Structure 1
Amino acid sequence: MSRILVTGMSGAGKTTLLDELRRRGHQTVDTDYDGWTQGDGTWDEPRMAALLANGGPVIVSGTVENQVRFYDNFDAIILLTAPLSVLLERVSARVNNPYGTTSEEREEISRNLRDVEPLLRSGATLELDGRETVSALADRVEAVIRDTRSH
């Protein structure tokens, strides 16, 4: 059983990484979609608790204020990072998520990189550079999964 959280700033590559891991046969949940995040920007706690209580392997992606409440339920917490210039370039070019297209949202990304990413880093068990190829990142996550299964 492996339960992995992939977290990081908007544009770091979380969704792209989860897409690759899903393609490789892993169960994934991107909490940016399908009602996992409530109107206040936090996870639906009963729903997340139920997902993590089922005991099955899952890779969850998201960055929300209340995610820390679930850290003990994950075998690994992976912080995906990238420099601000990369984050802003990616959010302006993506087509699957409109967040980051306005100047206000871009300023929020900059603030979050400064203020929130250090908090994420303090809770992470591994930090990965989101500029690596998606294949290399998926390989690294699969290595974490193998490692957590062997313990």
Structure 2
Amino acid sequence: MSGTGKSTVLEKLASRGYRVVDTDSDYWSEWSSLTDGSTDWIWREDAMKELLDEERSEPLFLSGCKSNQGTFYPYFDQVVLLSAPAEVILPRIANRTNNDYGKNPEERGLILQHLKDIEPLLRQTATMEIDASAPIEEVVRQLEELVTT
């Protein structure tokens, strides 16, 4: 979900030597036309399959939220939902300087709609939920525990 600290968590994990991938880019994601004429920002299946098929001896932390992510769940050891209430998320988004998404009223309304409609669906498929309103170091510690225990 937007504003939960995914990018910040990835930065912290990368600084600790972990391999991280933020899939919110044109390399990992693409716009796809839906049957109703709308569009959806989904994972590029070829790029994701190539990444997830790689042999690796170290953990990979992947961040993203796409409608086709369930296709890749068999590749994941864990599916973690970072969650926080709107009263935490909206001020974070308003104050962040590295991403303009959520700055206008329409996008903020969409974020609130996603919290209501999409977050419960993500919660159902997650293997773990982390309260992202906790200090960032605590969130990172919990993620590191997944790969060190």
TM-score (norm 2): 0.89
2:9 aligns to what SS in structure 1?
helix
Task: Please give the root-mean-square deviation of Cα atoms over the aligned residues, in Å.
Answer: 1.1
What fraction of aligned residue pairs are identical, expressed as a percent?
A: 42
Residues 1:103 and 2:95 aligned together: no
5+ residue gaps in structure 2?
32-39
5+ residue gaps in structure 1?
1-8
CA distances 1:60-87 after superposition (whole Å, capped 9, x unpaired):
0011111111111100011000001111
- Shift of residue 34, structure 1, vs aligned partner: 5.2
User: Aligned letter for 1:88?
Assistant: L
- Which structure has more RCO (C-alpha within 8 Å, separation ≥ 6)? 1
Select 1:112's aligned residue among 95, 100, 114. Answer: 114
Residues 1:70 and 2:72 aligned together: yes
C-alpha distance in 1 between matches for 2:10 and 2:74: 21
Larger CA Rg, structure 1 vs 2: 2
Aligned equivalent of 2:15: 23
Moved more, 54-63 or 16-25: 54-63
User: Aligned letter for 1:62?
Assistant: G
Aligned equivalent of 2:37: none
Moved more, 72-81 or 133-142: 133-142
Residues 1:49 and 2:41 aligned together: no
User: Aligned letter for 1:85?
Assistant: E
C-alpha distance in 2 between matches for 1:99 and 1:25: 28
User: Aligned letter for 2:91?
Assistant: E
TM-score (norm 1): 0.88
CA distances 1:78-100 after superposition (whole Å, capped 9, x unpaired):
10000011111111111111110
Q: Stretches of 4+ moved more than 6 A in 1?
A: none
User: Aligned letter for 2:86?
Assistant: L
**Matching of residues 127-138 of structure 1 within 5 Å:** 127-138=129-140
